[in-house]
Amino acid sequence: MADDLLSPQEQDALAREIQTWVRDELETEIGNMQALMLLDRLNDTLGAAHYNRGLRDAAAAASRRNDDLVDDLHALERPWSGRR
């Protein structure tokens, strides 16, 4: 649920955004409680997918950075006579 993930201030701000969107796009008024319920539902249904995508993106970025680091370390190697 959103209350596990978001501060009360974040929940209120998002509820206001939802209320505004519903009013402007659907020409319907909803109260704060309804907006919070919708926020919870969206978080339950979409939150994990977005979270997992963020993790995959972060892992890919970390992997690229690691590859760059390994390349930089190899560039620091010095030749020596015992190396083949």
Task: List pLDDT tens digits, range 2-21.
Answer: 446 789 999 999 999 999 99
Which of the pair, 63 or 4, is modelled with greater confidence?
Answer: 63
Give the Cα separation of 54 and 21 in Å (integer): 25
Domains in the chain: boundaries? 2-75
Instruction: Give the pLDDT band of residue 1 (cuts 50, 70, 90).
Output: very low
Tokens representing 35 are 């907006």
Nearest-angstrom CA–CA distance, 51 and 17: 21
Could you tell me which residues come within 8 angstroms of residue 40 by beta carbon, excluding any fewer than 6 positions away? 1, 2, 3
16 neighbors 35 (Cβ within 8 angstroms) = yes
Q: pTM score, two decimals?
A: 0.65
